[in-house]
Structure 1
């Protein structure tokens, strides 16, 4: 049906409510009756309220009967004035969600047994067509889809359309919109088209690792696929690419391991990659730009700029799978950074083009919310938005064999969606690590429903980045010049003590940030904001590099020896710098690359951090499983402020271990509990094999800005 002349605006805002906006010239018509019609049925409207608005009148009306979605409606009033009815806020109602929630697992394009099926959830559409392009062809054909239950449109073709490019043409609100398939699993270069794929033709033999024991046993190492190998001295052949990240024969300029082999030697358990799903910000064919990847386009398609051939829709799939299994072959697990909180540009997103207004949050005035700071917030609480997120997680776990998920801006999402992710992962791979940024963000979702730190008790199996740990140990992230405990600020001693004990309330009368240590992801540096070294350059600009390195080593040591889940930024172990740039999301390689020459220059610090990782992995006292274990086995030695001393009982034989921390620039002599104590770590050395023994008659000499780890003989 062709749209009629629009004399005014009319919107369906609830199942039986229409909002009419009349220009002032039609004031007389406001008191007259309006009729809702779809060409076969006429329904009178009941006027409920009239409000003066800028340049006109707002009429709130009701009607009896059922609005037939998938049919064009128009309103008519006195003197023959008419307007199309646009579907607006009704899509954000509970009634709409309940009526159109589709539970099927067959959305997208499926090519099998000589048939290709297309299915698209578009309940507000009047017509839907799929636009098909043969491989390498410029001409296309249009195929109409039929509307079925729950607003799902489908077409089954008795043809094998593998490698066909396609888009959907959707007629909604009297406008044809062209969109890629949000359920795409393959795409053309630069996301111009979705691609029909047979995933069985992209299989890579999976490497089955044994189930991971417990999240606190993890040591997470965060990196970016391009950063990881793009440096000239990375020793990698395929620099900046999926397959380059998985090369195991890379050596730096010193002839020693770089890349994957180096990370394996370091001793971490999980490598977390910044987003590798399809994102904006890089021309995939030219690859001259840089981007972190937080501009999501297609959530279930790998990013093409990391592929050897972005024009081949299968290359990126196969090479990403090869990368993941390459890490698995070395005993390392892969965490995927996911960005389900927003899209790159809302208006250009297939979600918004296909079902306008549904997948995003809006304020009461109709304006889109922006808690993410990038222009839109995904409405994860809506049933089909939640379903998409859950379907996506399930897809990545099953198809790509990932081992963990890191949720960007998790506080935008709702608790039920996040717990659903945990349930899906538990059903598929129970030992998966799930962590997220539980920041409190300004999005129109009740505070009690946000997946934020304040609601950690509602998400007991989700790790959250502990900003209190971060800011207590290094100082405020948002005040570059503020120093934390490891940088010599003794006013943070009590907060640091609580942070090292897992932030469970051990030193704050039971009022902890978290209930259990598994929820606390401990870090002082990540991809965003200034690196720790760059913060030290600002805070201690008048000090020499020796003090800066000691402070840096101390902060990193506390990350590795604290209760909870330790998180390291790649290169942190060799004082990574971005030249003082805090937000480097689109800076060039020279700023963001992992500098493998710096690894050589600071090999002694690398050796030290490697030793601490070994100590953490061997001594369970640094990774107690529960808050109860911490309360029973961790005792405060009551050392002189601002020193911190913990006494641990560990293992079935109750082995005694001591951790002492000195953030000052002075030497301290510490009287140890009775007995002889083996030193595993001091200011210069760290290893599971004892360095020396302190006898009963000696005191422990604690060097400036350092730690000691001691085990009773």
Structure 2
């Protein structure tokens, strides 16, 4: 590294504008002349503006012509001192973005057994070197050559499989070592990239059952470690990728567990919390660390703590692929949770080391913005940031054969990026699911450009987590004492009807949240915040556990019988508890593990939810695909509040039943509802039984609904 003492500072802030800061301690911050050294000539700068700051004087100067990036320039003042011209805010200008946009598909390592090509995008660097370490520990430093669009390249004519590698990058006279942002394999704890032959890890993707529309999905969210770490899970490789796909796992105290259980439950998609390499868990540790995985380190390499051998770069790749394909062999699709909105540590990230200041948003004062709450926001609207995200999505989709993505804090990302992802995945698989958290977050991006629920009209085939559904049915997530509809809360019944009907507008007078039901991910709980069971226990008023179970089961039943995309948190069906902890991102296994003994304790409730899932899947009327279909077929019944009921009429073309009635009773009392004498109705669901086949015929034109329960009846013609 070149050592330089800077008496004053100069920054390239626009293509032809330099900002110079003279501290008061340096000639009282005064100067009337500045020059830029180009070759062996000093060219004068025009001082456009001068401002007095708290500790220095700021000079805005205009360049006689633009500079060539990749070279070091010197600024000289009237006192004959000099300082280097540092890369400043120019990298956040549209001119810079356009000038250095690279559309090639070969960033990172292109491996072949007889040669490897390595490319890095580092347009502001004045030097880049490739640091290679052979499998036997021999190290060499190789100069990389600068090409157009800020690309640095080197080709090695030998087999580099198993070599570790990093980049040495010089920006603003400072050399920093960074791991390749495009690395697909890394060493333990992500210290270095590793060159691997991905061809060795590939196996054919299993053939999956047909899947036609997002509302046909039933998503089940889980965490690799939570799923199997319980002492009595019956899983051999607890907490590992390959443990999550073990079959025939059970114990006498738990019954079926793991993947066998999930297949039997009837879900269509399993969503895994982040599996890309993250901080927060020592991959060589002893399971004393725990983390959900929202601390992204390397976006294209799997996490090593879930691998049987974190020190073997192939282990994590092959075992994650084994998990994905094993799940798909059971007819279940795989969604991965991805975190493209921030990095774990901005300053230490490869992005910041390689192109300082480019990948992250900054506020009006030049400080990193913090809409994510973790200290940095990814600037997805910049061309090479968007490209990185698209390249990463393409990599995971093609290399790991996944079937969907869930975007953490999607509201940080921009509309154009998300729609570009939709277009990309459509080319690979039109049934690919894209879902995300469209929360409004305080990041310096124009409101109309954010991928938020408010802008859902601009994101027609991307589904968003529906927090209104969650809070209307369950009760406020953040005010634990507030009851939702399922607990008999006296909320807005019109809003309750709206979210049950897909959160769309049923007529011109009502305003919906979404344009189409396939945009609404209906959920009651997820990894975040308190589980529903823990919330209900916080507000219990002398109610017995049996009553709480009824409230909980009613809420989940409403979820599964609502229009839109149902989403279940793992263990929700057996009243998952985290001992009252609302943010368990780094809590121990005793808090986060799926308690399979609890599943067996509440097996009757599990069987009931399994039956509701079966009922939903048996008739498409429970999952109408368009707003026009819902408006045509769903009709609300005039019931005594707070009972809610709707009739699905004229739905013979969607399943066995020509008409279906669904009624919810959140009251702790029996309620009787009169039915029109218009045919023979048969029971499909009541307080104790449910299935796709009717189990009872109604003998009169009234029906009694048990306390805190639902009924579903169907008519054949």
| TM-score of Structure 1 vs Structure 2, range by shorter chain | over 0.9
1:465 and 1:523 in contact (8 A); partners too:
yes
Partner of 2:487 in structure 1? 487
1:252 and 1:597 in contact (8 A); partners too:
no
Q: How far apart, in 2, do the equivalents of 1:519 and 1:60 lie?
A: 49
2:670 and 2:705 in contact (8 A); partners too:
yes
Partner of 2:653 in structure 1? 652
Q: How far apart, in 1, do the equivalents of 2:4 and 2:432 lie?
A: 55
Partner of 1:17 in structure 2? 17
Q: How far apart, in 1, do the equivalents of 2:338 and 2:40 lie?
A: 47
Instruction: Please tell me whether residue 317 in structure 1 is matched to residue 321 in structure 2.
Output: no
How far 1:131 sits from its partner (Å)? 0.7
Distance 1:181 1:135, change over 3 A: same
Encode CA deviations 1:380-423: one digit per residue, 9 max, x unaligned.
00000000000000000100000000000000000000011111
Q: How far apart, in 1, do the equivalents of 2:536 and 2:56 lie?
A: 59
Encode CA deviations 1:479-523: one digit per residue, 9 max, x unaligned.
111111101102232221111001102278231100000000000
Q: How far apart, in 2, do the equivalents of 1:576 and 1:595 lie?
A: 8
How far 1:551 sits from its partner (Å)? 0.5
Secondary structure of 2:482's match?
coil
Note the 1:162-241 alignment, pairs <5 A: 162-241=161-240
Distance 1:57 1:672, change over 3 A: same
How far 1:542 sits from its partner (Å)? 2.4
Distance 1:415 1:41, change over 3 A: farther
Instruction: Please tell me whether residue 129 in structure 1 is matched to residue 129 in structure 2.
Output: yes
User: More displaced, 489-498 or 173-182?
Assistant: 489-498
1:222 and 1:570 in contact (8 A); partners too:
yes
Instruction: Please tell me whether residue 702 in structure 1 is matched to residue 701 in structure 2.
Output: no
Secondary structure of 1:79's match?
coil
Secondary structure of 2:47's match?
strand
Q: How far apart, in 1, do the equivalents of 2:133 and 2:41 lie?
A: 39
Secondary structure of 1:305's match?
coil
How far 1:81 sits from its partner (Å)? 2.0
Partner of 1:87 in structure 2? 87
Note the 1:87-166 alignment, pairs <5 A: 87-137=87-137, 139-166=138-165
2:247 and 2:259 in contact (8 A); partners too:
yes
1:498 and 1:505 in contact (8 A); partners too:
yes
Q: How far apart, in 1, do the equivalents of 2:38 and 2:283 lie?
A: 46
Q: How far apart, in 2, do the equivalents of 1:369 and 1:484 lie?
A: 35
How far 1:672 sits from its partner (Å)? 1.3
Normalising by structure 1, what TM-score? 0.98
Partner of 1:503 in structure 2? 503
Q: How far apart, in 2, do the equivalents of 1:568 and 1:509 lie?
A: 32
1:280 and 1:293 in contact (8 A); partners too:
yes
Secondary structure of 1:47's match?
strand
How far 1:4 sits from its partner (Å)? 5.3
Secondary structure of 2:302's match?
coil
Partner of 1:454 in structure 2? 454
Instruction: Please tell me whether residue 664 in structure 1 is matched to residue 667 in structure 2.
Output: yes
Partner of 1:523 in structure 2? 523
Q: How far apart, in 2, do the equivalents of 1:687 and 1:397 lie?
A: 36
Instruction: Please tell me whether residue 533 in structure 1 is matched to residue 536 in structure 2.
Output: no
2:48 and 2:60 in contact (8 A); partners too:
yes
Distance 1:408 1:508, change over 3 A: farther
1:13 and 1:89 in contact (8 A); partners too:
yes
User: More displaced, 6-15 or 393-402?
Assistant: 6-15
Instruction: Please tell me whether residue 691 in structure 1 is matched to residue 672 in structure 2.
Output: no
1:484 and 1:492 in contact (8 A); partners too:
no
1:381 and 1:414 in contact (8 A); partners too:
yes
1:498 and 1:508 in contact (8 A); partners too:
no
How far 1:256 sits from its partner (Å)? 3.1
How far 1:205 sits from its partner (Å)? 3.0
Note the 1:77-476 alignment, pairs <5 A: 77-137=77-137, 139-254=138-253, 256-286=255-285, 287-476=287-476
Q: How far apart, in 1, do the equivalents of 2:209 and 2:129 lie?
A: 46
Q: How far apart, in 2, do the equivalents of 1:213 and 1:687 lie?
A: 23
2:232 and 2:253 in contact (8 A); partners too:
no
Q: How far apart, in 1, do the equivalents of 2:98 and 2:302 lie?
A: 32
1:390 and 1:420 in contact (8 A); partners too:
yes
Q: How far apart, in 1, do the equivalents of 2:504 and 2:316 lie?
A: 43
Q: How far apart, in 2, do the equivalents of 1:526 and 1:299 lie?
A: 23
Q: How far apart, in 2, do the equivalents of 1:554 and 1:326 lie?
A: 33
Encode CA deviations 1:240-261: one digit per residue, 9 max, x unaligned.
1000101111013247321000
Distance 1:46 1:28, change over 3 A: farther
How far 1:201 sits from its partner (Å)? 1.4
Secondary structure of 2:527's match?
coil
Partner of 2:637 in structure 1? 637
Q: How far apart, in 2, do the equivalents of 1:360 and 1:255 lie?
A: 47
Partner of 1:624 in structure 2? 624
Partner of 2:597 in structure 1? 597
Partner of 2:574 in structure 1? 574
Q: How far apart, in 2, do the equivalents of 1:622 and 1:44 lie?
A: 73
Secondary structure of 1:522's match?
strand
How far 1:64 sits from its partner (Å)? 2.4
How far 1:546 sits from its partner (Å)? 1.1
Q: How far apart, in 2, do the equivalents of 1:307 and 1:31 lie?
A: 61
Instruction: Please tell me whether residue 553 in structure 1 is matched to residue 556 in structure 2.
Output: no
1:38 and 1:71 in contact (8 A); partners too:
no
Q: How far apart, in 1, do the equivalents of 2:30 and 2:635 lie?
A: 76
How far 1:42 sits from its partner (Å)? 3.3
Unmatched 5+ stretches in structure 2: none
1:118 and 1:156 in contact (8 A); partners too:
yes
Secondary structure of 1:243's match?
coil
2:209 and 2:331 in contact (8 A); partners too:
no
How far 1:208 sits from its partner (Å)? 2.5
Secondary structure of 1:244's match?
coil
Partner of 2:32 in structure 1? 32
How far 1:293 sits from its partner (Å)? 0.2
How far 1:71 sits from its partner (Å)? 0.3
Unmatched 5+ stretches in structure 1: none
Normalising by structure 2, what TM-score? 0.97
